[in-house]
């Protein structure tokens, strides 16, 4: 994967927490980029610089973006509109913009409102990688290896810009595929956003119960896995769920029906009904591998 010479002279990564920091570290390790400039509104960029993930920690979006032929937004979805707005006048004339947001429709709308003509050089993206940890300290250059990296172009996005993003992220081991933005948001509500809410909800129920301490003491691997993403950033996940609210509420309604059916079967002592629900669950889950 090591390119003979850098694909990109300078890349600007706006937001250098877990995702942006990992991308920076991975691009530097593989030699795909000559210079990685990081910006964050907090201390993350300086921490990422101290850890060697980025070459330059910038104090503004304009400073980071100057001279960059690639700009990657790796910030929480709620921070995207402001970043796009700051980008507009600083962007180099041929620079390509992409993002790593967990939702796509709202980020695309924000880009469309802010970028003007440069919207044609924006490729919506979403690496399917993460961790319950956050911040540049948690960055891992192997985070994207063998993980999918989705591109969600709109009708007007030029194919050549998608290819440019693909070539870049393939250097860090990601496998690129494309998905319609609206379908993306429904699929991720179902496969990621609402499941995070379930893990938070289960953890909150145990935390607020009278057995919270004993549950910690006597937990096994099952509880640790079921609740793992319940340790994720509360604010970030509140924002993602709110950003993708309609799709998440649809997933929530399906989950509520399934949960109520289990409670009803348990109350009624209806073993056949429980086994039927659990079997449908288990057949699907076994296909997940």
Residues in 75-134 at the binding interface with a second copy, rule: CB under 8 A: 128-131
Please list every residue from 220 through 259 that binds a second copy, using CB under 8 A. 220-235, 237-239, 241-242, 245, 248-249, 251-252, 254-259
Residue 102 CA to chain centroid, in angstroms?
Answer: 4
Please list every residue from 183 through 222 that binds a second copy, using CB under 8 A. 183, 186-188, 190-192, 195-209, 211-212, 214-216, 218-222
Nearer to a second copy, 65 or 240 (CB): 240
The reply on whether position 182 binds a second copy by CB under 8 A is: no
Residue 105 CA to chain centroid, in angstroms?
Answer: 14
Nearer to a second copy, 113 or 228 (CB): 228
Shortest approach of a second copy to residue 165 CB, angstroms? 18
Residue 30 CA to chain centroid, in angstroms?
Answer: 22
Shortest approach of a second copy to residue 154 CB, angstroms? 19
The correct pick among 148, 167, 170, 175 for binding a second copy (CB under 8 A) is: 148
Please list every residue from 27 through 66 that binds a second copy, using CB under 8 A. none
Give the DSSP H or E segment for 4.
none
Measuring CA to CA, how many Å separate 208 from each of 166, 195, 203, 245?
A: 45, 20, 9, 25
Nearer to a second copy, 84 or 188 (CB): 188
Task: Indicate the pairing of strand 122-123 with strand 125-127.
Answer: unpaired
Task: Name the residue with tokens 């802010």.
Answer: 114
Residues with Cβ within 8 Å of 145's Cβ and at least 6 positions away in sequence, in order, are: 172, 173, 174
């Amino acid at each position: 994967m090591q390119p003979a010479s850098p694909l990109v002279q300078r890349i600007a990564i706006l937001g250098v927490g877990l995702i942006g920091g990992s991308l920076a570290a991975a691009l530097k390790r593989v030699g795909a980029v000559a210079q990685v400039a990081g910006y964050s509104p907090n201390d993350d960029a300086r921490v990422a610089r101290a850890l060697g993930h980025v070459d330059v920690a910038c104090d503004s979006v304009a400073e980071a973006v100057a001279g960059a032929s690639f700009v990657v937004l790796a910030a929480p979805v709620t921070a995207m509109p402001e970043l796009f707005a700051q980008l507009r006048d600083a962007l180099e004339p041929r620079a390509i913009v992409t993002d790593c947001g967990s939702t796509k429709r709202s980020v695309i709308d924000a880009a469309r409102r802010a970028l003007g003509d440069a919207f044609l050089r924006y490729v919506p993206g979403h690496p399917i990688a993460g961790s319950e940890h956050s911040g540049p300290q948690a960055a891992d250059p192997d985070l994207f290896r063998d993980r999918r990296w989705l591109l969600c172009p709109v009708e007007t996005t030029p194919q050549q810009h998608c290819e440019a993003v693909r070539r870049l992220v393939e250097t860090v081991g990601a496998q690129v595929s494309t998905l319609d933005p609206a379908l993306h948001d429904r699929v991720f509500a179902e496969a990621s956003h609402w499941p995070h809410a379930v893990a938070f909800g289960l953890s909150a129920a145990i935390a607020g119960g009278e057995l919270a301490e004993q549950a910690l003491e006597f937990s096994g691997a099952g509880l640790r896995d079921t609740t793992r993403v319940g340790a994720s950033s509360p604010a970030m996940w509140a924002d993602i769920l709110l950003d993708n609210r309609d799709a998440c509420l649809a997933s929530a309604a399906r989950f509520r029906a399934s949960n109520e059916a289990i409670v009803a079967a348990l109350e009624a002592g209806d073993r056949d009904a429980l086994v039927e629900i659990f079997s449908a669950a288990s057949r699907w889950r076994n296909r997940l591998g």
